[in-house]
Structure 1
Amino acid sequence: MDPLGARSQFVEVQNLPTWDQSQGVQDEVDGENQLTEEDDQLTNQLNSFESPFPFRQDINSKIVLFNGDVALLNCTAIVNTSNETLTDKNPVSDSIHRYAGPELRDELLKLKGCRTGEAKMTEGFNLAARFIIHTVGPKYKAKYRTAAESSLYSCYRNVMQLAKEHAMASVGLCVVSTVKRAYPLEDATHIALRTVRRFLENHGENIETVVFAVSDVEEPVYSKLMPLYYPCSKKEEKISLPLLPADIGNTEGEPVVLERQIRIVEKPGNLEEDSADDSLESDLGLVGSHAFARMEGDVDKQRKLILQGQMSEAAQQKQHQRNYSRWLCRARAEDLSDIAALKALYQTGVDLCGRTVMVVVGRNIPVTIIDMEKALLYFIHVMDHITVKEYVMVYFHTLTGEHNHLDTDFLKKLSDVVDAKFQKNLRAFYFVHPTFRTKVSTWFFTTFSVSSLKEKVHHIENLQQLFTCILPEQIDIPPFVLEYDTRVSIQSFTTLQLSIEDKGRYT
């Protein structure tokens, strides 16, 4: 497999420690130390919820985390990240071209480019690797996050597919989508790790080694996230379960958009009469026979203990974190496609400070007819991975009726349940098109219930004010909001003009 005359600086993949060798023993010890008696209770409850990425010794033994130059790996193929014309100048590509020699550039001209998400293969020329797989990562824009996720998934999936089709024993993966393409490193790492994991599970029987080649900047992120997808013990598997993001993709690791999922029921139509008992039992099961239906705890009782001074601050935080983890696990387990279909909560672009913008459309929330607990679960499901960084919320109160108003009890429950990072990393809450009543309600709520939000709430009378904080192209605004804002602006301008004319008439 090795080319003749390989340079001495090339690294033999067989000599690198695999993930189970470098992490397995230490993680077992760490797992023992991390699990206290109180944590055992949560772990026992989580045992009833199967991890989507269970401990697999056979898969871990194929994974290598290598801090170094992918071009130096002596394996069957290495991956080059480039642009659509395969002429990108980035550290990974430059190193590969330097070691491969000028023949590589001539070969790339024959490929006539490569589309985003695709993968094409050339010889390795002077490299130790026999082949180079070239792929093009997406340019990241928060507004088109879903498309970027799908494209990045396709990059890793197509690379692994080529490896399988050509019976490659080992593959060296660089971090696809360079800094120039602005893809957030942590988000990209989640996609890379889970895509490779799913491929090895489903199609990787003949692949012996997959090397994640990373730089000094990338290594800490990979080291932190790899235990989520490649746990080295059963205990680490359980510890990692609450830390998994909400979007773990389908059985192949491909991103799934809840709004596009179709619910399919078995044997639709009227049930036969003799199945009445089974139907009743099934309905009762849906009410909440699963373990997570019994895990919320009494929030009022917890607050009473806190007020009475019977719980320390550390105990309070731990109790709250356990409670949030339970809600998060429920959110990942339940079918929330009916709530997603309302399009009442979605991610758009970024504000002028580069912070993620989340949009809430009040008119799309039929409070009186939907299950508000499921709405809370959906909010947690969508927001969990957003709130790890600074973000802003935009709430469109435009044309919101009585049946759309979120009552104070629900908002209070939401505040009690969500993780501390929701409030900590929220930098601004823009309340668009408020009424006098909502201004008063907001003042009371932020003054007496959630005082930490008081300074973050900003009432926005029109879209022009909003655009001073968030550029128009960075936010998806519902058509009815644009129409309403235009109509009100015209009316305001007309009123002002008439007022000026009246003043001139009397002076």
Structure 2
Amino acid sequence: MSTGLKTTEDMDPLGARSDVIEVEKLTRWNLTQLPEYHETEQRQDGKTVPFPWRNDLNAKIILWGGDITCLNVHAIVHTTNEHLTDQNPQSDLIFEKAGPALQVEVKNSIKVCKTGEAKITKGHNLLARYVIHTVGPRYNIKYLTAAESALFCSYRSTLQLAREYGIRTLGLCCIHTTRRGYPPESGAHIAIRTTRRFLEKYGGSFDTIVFVCAEETLDIYRRILPLYFPRNNKEEDFAIDHLPNDLGNEDGEPVIEERQIRIIDKPTFAALRANHDDLEETIDLNQEFCPSTVLDVGHHPFSHMEENPDNSRHAGVTKNNTEQKKLDSRRRYERFLKRAKSEDLTDIAGLRCLYRTGTDRCGRPVVVFIGKQFIVDAVDPERALLYLVRVMEPVVDKDYVVVYFHTQTTKRNQPPMNYLKMAYNLLDNRYKKNLKYFYIIHPTWWSKLATWFFTTFTASDIKPNVHNLKGVQYLYSKMDPDQIDVPPFVMDYDTQINGPRYHVPPEDSSDGL
């Protein structure tokens, strides 16, 4: 009769763990099954491959989704905040499995880790001998360049620290996190590109680097890895056409060409002369100034009063900064637009929450957004923004109209205010300049308050163009019914609150903010 207890033969060896993942049993990237690629055009002669096929580097890479604390590697990476007190499931699990000694070492030896830095501690009770702690940046579209540079530094510092400590096998988590607002796909490009460039220089320092992904990031890494670690010639050709514009410098660090300083090594006068045709000729001061021994000071340009040079300098700096910000903003949008045109966004399109319809009575194109069909928790916010750009780009060159059905929306349908700010700041100036009307159908008291707050403090440019409409019939006073596709549930709700037939007085056709 069975007692339900394990016998000596059934029991695990003393101290053994059943959840250990041995990297030797995981599939290397060079042996991972390849996707099917469509035949691409033959590569043009002389066209360089930024990241050529290298089987030796691919054999060092593993893509794996799971709990990083279960990996039997020399070191794992822990992404946290500046004081190493981040409260999240992954951090909590690392400290729990490592035991209280890790907390003591962090408190006594590290204390603070700045954004972009990496610090190392012992692994204590973890399978890994070491834990490398690093702090990824907080993402803000206004400071995109700073965020990209800081994220590069986090990955680069982590890899460099691992090399210095002789770590041969490394579990590398996603340092860029949605907790800090970093778009998963943009972060993956920097993570994988930085690792590729590091291995090109110091490949002999590592046996294995495991990209450890959560469920929501695994597909993103699986899609981007072939661009930087191609596994055959077809993948090389595919990568050439799908890599982003910014491939970074020799270390993978993001590059801003306009800010690079070009220095001529020991320039000669002849070289300067050749490069600067407008170099001023030598000036004869005796000829420039009055030859008379009695200098006519009052009439010489030297004596003319000019404005404060500090003010002129400040105005010049302000103008340059403004132009640089516009240039950076335009570059960000063009990079985003390129992705919006190339990526497969059928999952977002299938929600049927954003689409183009007909025109208003003045012939302006109309874009419709259905709030109830946009479920925040179920949608990747970055991909949603990509789809928004794809739909809107063809109409924003001229006047256009947006209709937002707020009908029966709940908290699940309302994106955070920070996300709306980021989206507004990312969009090209044409979106704001050519928006003629933004109609909100079936507004609530709360939506009116939120709209007022947003258009007052963030989107003041479009505030005069935003109007709340009490019902669908008010919208029909702006455009013909056959020009707009209204969902059935919106019409049913409109009938419930306004009655089957209601008259819209011309003076009450809209309710401004």
Q: Same fold (TM over 0.5)?
A: yes
Letter of the 1:227 counterpart: P
Secondary structure of 1:202 counterpart: helix
Once residues 217 and 471 of structure 1 are traced to their aligned partners in structure 2, the CA distance between those partners, rounded to angstroms, is 35
Equivalent in the alignment of 2:190: 191
Higher RCO, Cα 8 Å, sep 6+: 1
Equivalent in the alignment of 2:178: 179
After superposition, the C-alpha distances for 1:239-269 in whole angstroms (9 at most, x for unaligned) are: 1111101112100011111221134568776
Q: Check conservation: 2:340, 2:387, Cα contact below 8 A.
A: no
| Among candidates 10, 13, 19, match of residue 29 of structure 2 | 19
Q: Check conservation: 2:95, 2:103, Cα contact below 8 A.
A: yes
Query: Are residues 431 and 109 of structure 1, via their aligned partners in 2, closer, same or farther at CA, if it must alter by over 3 Å?
Result: farther
Q: Check conservation: 1:246, 1:385, Cα contact below 8 A.
A: no
Q: Check conservation: 1:198, 1:253, Cα contact below 8 A.
A: yes
Matches within 5 A, 1:350-369: 358=330
Residue 384 (1) aligns with residue 382 (2): no
Once residues 105 and 328 of structure 2 are traced to their aligned partners in structure 1, the CA distance between those partners, rounded to angstroms, is 41
Residue 346 (1) aligns with residue 327 (2): yes
Secondary structure of 2:327 counterpart: strand
Name whichever structure is richer in helix by fraction.
1
After superposition, the C-alpha distances for 1:421-464 in whole angstroms (9 at most, x for unaligned) are: 975353874989xxxxxxxxxxxxxxxxxxxx99993269xxxx
Equivalent in the alignment of 1:96: 94
Matches within 5 A, 1:210-229: 210-229=209-228
Equivalent in the alignment of 2:106: 108
Q: Check conservation: 2:22, 2:72, Cα contact below 8 A.
A: yes
Once residues 151 and 455 of structure 1 are traced to their aligned partners in structure 2, the CA distance between those partners, rounded to angstroms, is 30
Once residues 457 and 432 of structure 2 are traced to their aligned partners in structure 1, the CA distance between those partners, rounded to angstroms, is 24
Query: Are residues 175 and 53 of structure 1, via their aligned partners in 2, closer, same or farther at CA, if it must alter by over 3 Å?
Result: same
TM (norm. structure 1) is: 0.55
| Among candidates 70, 73, 79, match of residue 71 of structure 2 | 73
> Which one has the largest radius of gyration?
2
After superposition, the C-alpha distances for 1:443-497 in whole angstroms (9 at most, x for unaligned) are: xxxxxxxxxx99993269xxxxx9987776689x9xxxxxxxxxxxxxxxxxxxx
| Among candidates 458, 466, 475, match of residue 435 of structure 2 | 458
Q: Check conservation: 1:189, 1:222, Cα contact below 8 A.
A: yes
Letter of the 2:172 counterpart: L
Secondary structure of 1:213 counterpart: strand
Letter of the 1:12 counterpart: E
Q: Check conservation: 1:164, 1:204, Cα contact below 8 A.
A: no
After superposition, the C-alpha distances for 1:26-65 in whole angstroms (9 at most, x for unaligned) are: 35xx34xx11xxx43xx332x5211111111010000000
| Among candidates 6, 15, 18, match of residue 8 of structure 1 | 18
Equivalent in the alignment of 1:53: 51
Equivalent in the alignment of 2:506: none
Residue 424 (1) aligns with residue 422 (2): no
Once residues 199 and 471 of structure 1 are traced to their aligned partners in structure 2, the CA distance between those partners, rounded to angstroms, is 47
Q: Check conservation: 2:337, 2:390, Cα contact below 8 A.
A: no
Letter of the 2:106 counterpart: L
Letter of the 1:126 counterpart: N
Equivalent in the alignment of 2:134: 135
Secondary structure of 2:215 counterpart: coil
Equivalent in the alignment of 1:234: 233
Once residues 164 and 115 of structure 1 are traced to their aligned partners in structure 2, the CA distance between those partners, rounded to angstroms, is 20
Secondary structure of 2:19 counterpart: coil
Query: Are residues 87 and 271 of structure 1, via their aligned partners in 2, closer, same or farther at CA, if it must alter by over 3 Å?
Result: closer
Query: Are residues 345 and 83 of structure 1, via their aligned partners in 2, closer, same or farther at CA, if it must alter by over 3 Å?
Result: same
Letter of the 1:98 counterpart: E
Q: Check conservation: 2:76, 2:171, Cα contact below 8 A.
A: yes
After superposition, the C-alpha distances for 1:337-392 in whole angstroms (9 at most, x for unaligned) are: xxx996484355xxxxxxxxx599xxxxxxxxxxxxxxxxxx966853476699xx
Equivalent in the alignment of 1:316: none
Please list every run of 5 or more consecutive structure 1 residues that lacks an aligned counterpart in the other structure. Answer: 276-339, 349-357, 361-378, 391-418, 433-452, 461-465, 478-507
Aligned residue pairs, count: 317
Once residues 205 and 471 of structure 1 are traced to their aligned partners in structure 2, the CA distance between those partners, rounded to angstroms, is 57
Once residues 57 and 328 of structure 2 are traced to their aligned partners in structure 1, the CA distance between those partners, rounded to angstroms, is 34
TM (norm. structure 2) is: 0.55
Once residues 457 and 241 of structure 2 are traced to their aligned partners in structure 1, the CA distance between those partners, rounded to angstroms, is 36
- Report the RMSD for the aligned CA atoms in angstroms: 3.9
Once residues 386 and 246 of structure 1 are traced to their aligned partners in structure 2, the CA distance between those partners, rounded to angstroms, is 14
Letter of the 2:47 counterpart: F
Equivalent in the alignment of 2:362: none
After superposition, the C-alpha distances for 1:290-334 in whole angstroms (9 at most, x for unaligned) are: xxxxxxxxxxxxxxxxxxxxxxxxxxxxxxxxxxxxxxxxxxxxx
TM-fit CA distance, 1:5: 3.5
Q: Check conservation: 1:246, 1:384, Cα contact below 8 A.
A: no
After superposition, the C-alpha distances for 1:78-111 in whole angstroms (9 at most, x for unaligned) are: 0001101101012221221122112111111111
Once residues 127 and 455 of structure 2 are traced to their aligned partners in structure 1, the CA distance between those partners, rounded to angstroms, is 49
